[in-house]
Amino acid sequence: MVTSPVLEATRSLIDEDAFGMVITVIAGPEAGSKIVLDDSGAVIAGSLPERLVAPARADALALMLRETSTTLAYEEDELFYEMIAPRPRLFIFGAVHIAQELVQHAGLLGFHTVVADPRPAFVTKDRFPEADELRVGWPDDVVDSTAFDARTFVVVLTHDRRFEDPLWPLLLPTDVRYIGAMGSSKTTAARRQRLLDSGFQAEQVDRIHGPIGLDIGSRAAGEVAIAILGEMIAARYLHDREPELVGRPVRL
């Protein structure tokens, strides 16, 4: 069976677990034209009218940051942007009760979940039947910096500095999407000062959300997990930043 280059490129992005965008002209003189972009905005298949290529690429990159599919208008043309995105990954450090709830809820939202803890008795399939991966060991033994990219969310649920301290050099210099750390306001302030004193830049340290989670008055482990997920979702879609788009959003 013969398949189109656009379909093949789309399937390739999906198979490779990669970011991308399929853009289709749905209204205008060249309705039906399609293009596929990778995460850098490079064309990997298809074509668009020349007048649309530059604005479409700019808007695709902005939308990919927010993992958003939408329709935008450019004078007489309307383009539909279809997001292709792999599953986000959630690394949970500290196999505590909150972690059990977080794995369950995050899995329902499509996250690939990884639980790490140096205590073998805590990192078991009985305790985390729905986790995608279980890793036993200290952070610098079970991950490296290549694991942390813009598709990664990290939650630190332990107060143990022996566990935390090896993690920060692996984590803070990366493009990880979200970092949350358990602890009171006092613990958070002490952590911040300790990291600044050890040489990290303020903009790196201030990426850590702490106390972790949205302030919804949560008490039980399941409620804390939901508060954390709410904060993660806000970071995932950059809800606090309006995208700068060339095209005009079309309300369908």
pLDDT at residue number 252: 61
pLDDT at residue number 2: 46
Please say whether the beta carbons of 79 and 56 come within 8 A: yes
Identity at 10, one-letter amino acid code: T
> Is the previous residue joined to 211 through a cis bond, with omega within 30 degrees of 0?
yes
Strand 20-27: give its sheet, edge to edge.
43-46, 34-38, 20-27, 77-84, 70-74, 248-249
Contacts of 215 (CB under 8 A, 6+ apart): 227
Q: Look at residue 37 and give its three-state secondary structure.
A: strand
CA gap 251, 245 in Å, rounded: 15
SS (H, E, C) 38-97: ECCCCEEEECCCHHHHHHHHHHHHHHHHCCCCEEEEECCEEEEEEEECCCCEEEEECCCH
The tens digit of pLDDT for each residue in 57-101 reads: 999 999 998 888 999 999 999 999 999 988 899 999 999 999 999
Counting as low any pLDDT under 70, the low residues of the chain are: 1-3, 239-240, 252
Q: Which two tokens stand for residue 128?
A: 């985390």
Q: Which two tokens stand for residue 114?
A: 């990884």
CA gap 84, 95 in Å, rounded: 32
Rounded to 5 degrees, what are φ and ψ at 71?
-120, 130
Give all domains of the chain, ordered by start, each with its CATH number.
5-86 (no CATH), 89-236 (3.40.50.720)
Please say whether the beta carbons of 180 and 213 come within 8 A: yes
Rounded to 5 degrees, what are φ and ψ at 113?
-105, 135
Residue 63 falls in which region: left (phi positive, over 0), alpha (psi -120 to 50) or beta: alpha
The residue among 93, 96, 66 whose CA lies nearest residue 81 is: 66
pLDDT at residue number 149: 86
CA gap 161, 67 in Å, rounded: 34
Quote the pTM value: 0.85
The tens digit of pLDDT for each residue in 108-132 reads: 999 999 999 999 999 999 999 999 9
CA 166 centroid distance within chain: 22
